Amino acid sequence: MPAYCIAELKIFDQDAYARYKGDVTAVVESFGGRFLVRGDDYDTVEGDWNPDYVVMIEFPDRATFHRFYDSPEYQGLKADRMAFANTNVVIFEGWEGE
């Protein structure tokens, strides 16, 4: 079942994020992930959610996401991200319906 990672970022250094964005894309894709959303152009239609920047990535399943997130390839990038942004990250399984 596909799994979806949603990250909400408050970015303090746009130049560092631009470098990270280029590097992380290849690592995500090497684990079968694909970006569905990456940006700050949205409309809040209900509630008061007001993120600076949102990323949504689809992975083949939750286990694959965790392999990516815990991988040596991602650990350095994660440390870089934590230096230029405050981030909330969640992972959940998709619904396949009946």
> Using an 8 Å Cβ cutoff, are 26 and 71 in contact?
no
| Total tally of structural domains belonging to the chain | 1
Residue 95: predicted pLDDT? 80
In a domain, 97, yes or no: no
In a domain, 17, yes or no: yes
In a domain, 75, yes or no: yes
What's the mean pLDDT in 1-6? 96
Residue 98 pLDDT grade (very low, low, confident, very high; cuts 50, 70, 90): low
**Which pair of structure tokens corresponds to residue 78?**
């994660």
> Using an 8 Å Cβ cutoff, are 94 and 3 in contact?
yes
AA identity, residue 57: I
| Cα separation, 86 vs 31, whole angstroms | 24
Backbone angles phi, psi at 7, to 5 degrees: -120, 135
Domain region containing 25 = 3-42+49-59+70-89
In a domain, 30, yes or no: yes
Percent of the chain clearing pLDDT 70 (strictly above): 98
Whether the model clears a pTM of 0.85, i.e. scores above it, the answer is yes
Domain at 21, CATH number: 3.30.70.100
